Amino acid sequence: MSSWLLVRHAETEANLLRRYQGWTDSALTAEGHAQEARVLARLSSIPVQAVYSSDLPRARRLAESIAAVHHLRVQLDARLREMHFGRFERLSYAQIMAIDPATASEWYEQMWDRRPPGGESAKEVFVRMQACMSAIGQATAGSRGSVVVVSHGGPLRMWLAWTRCADARQWSRIQFARGEIVPVQRSADTG
């Protein structure tokens, strides 16, 4: 049986500045480049059958590098994207609270069901992530090597919360560092 190798993209400038980047791109930091190099070193000797990735550049670039080592093509899927933070993108928590404290407070307290203005709820992110992972599981059923999935902190933590405790709403309790690889054994439940 094969395993999933879940990979979170490396550190970006927006991460360093503690800004919500969502669907907005941001350049890698020096540490981000070092994280990518460590991911590539770790995955270079592991048999990989397929590489899937968010289509956002910070994830796609890493996935393309992983795929190149294994002579594979990356399968891009927008359902693996980070949460869309709408008009809160590119802003820090302090900036959001200064601009619209009432809306921001409601969103923070009810993030699972509530959308930021122009964005999407955590539940919507999980639903698309779950559909994507199910499709990847079906497409790679029977493969013997690992299936690499490169994505973002929010969606990956939601999916891990669902696989570990059957409740994606517990996603904020899951730790998943930038540039980290988390193996998950595939099963009927995980694909």
Q: Which residue in the list 9, 70, 84, 152 is annotated as catalytic?
A: 9
Catalytic residue flag (residue 9): yes
Distance (Å, whole) CA 80 – CA 76: 8
Q: Are 9 and 60 in contact (CB under 8 A)?
A: no
Could you write out the DSSP letters of every residue in the chain? --EEEEEEPPPBHHHHTTB--TTS--PBPHHHHHHHHHHHHHHTTS-EEEEEE-SSHHHHHHHHHHHHHTT--EEE-GGGSPPP-GGGTT-BHHHHHHH-HHHHHHHHHTTTTPPPTTS--HHHHHHHHHHHHHHHHHHTTT--SEEEEEE-HHHHHHHHHHHHHS-GGGGGG----TT-EEEEE--TTT-
Catalytic residue flag (residue 82): yes
Q: Which residue in the list 11, 36, 82, 89 is annotated as catalytic?
A: 82
Burial of 47 (0-12, 13-18, 19+ CB in 10 A): exposed
Annotated catalytic residues are 9, 82
